[in-house]
């Protein structure tokens, strides 16, 4: 279910709305309840995560010496 960004033509409020069903239906402004809103093009597309993720104790990224790491149950191990 996509989240769309809208702008109210009446009061200028910017808001986001989770849209289910008909994606072309008019969404009223939560501030002034005006039906005069426009769907905006989002500045953020998909999310891309780069890098190695969480540091692991084995790579020296460190968990700060958690006791579970010393016993072999590191929560950061991949």
Is 74 a member of any domain? Answer: no
pLDDT given at position 3: 87
- Note whether residue 60 is domain-resident: no
pLDDT in tens, 9-42: 999 999 999 988 887 888 999 999 999 999 987 6
For the chain, the first-to-last Cα distance in angstroms comes to 30
The domain of 32 spans: 3-40
User: From edge to edge, which strands make up the β-sheet containing 3-8?
Assistant: 14-18, 3-8, 37-40
CA distances from 29 to 2, 10, 64 (A): 18, 9, 47
In a domain, 29, yes or no: yes
Assess if residue 34 is contained within a domain: yes
Residue 65 lies inside a defined structural domain of this protein: no
Q: How many folded domains does the chain comprise?
A: 1
- Assessment of whether the complete model's pTM goes beyond 0.85: no
């Amino acid at each position: 279910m996509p989240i769309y960004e809208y702008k109210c033509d009446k009061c200028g409020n910017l808001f986001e709305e989770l849209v289910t069903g008909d994606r072309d239906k008019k969404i009223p402004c939560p501030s002034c309840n005006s039906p005069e809103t426009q769907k905006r093009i989002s500045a953020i597309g998909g999310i891309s995560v780069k890098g190695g993720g969480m540091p692991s104790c084995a790579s020296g990224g460190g968990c700060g010496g958690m006791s579970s790491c010393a016993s072999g149950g590191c929560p950061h191990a991949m």
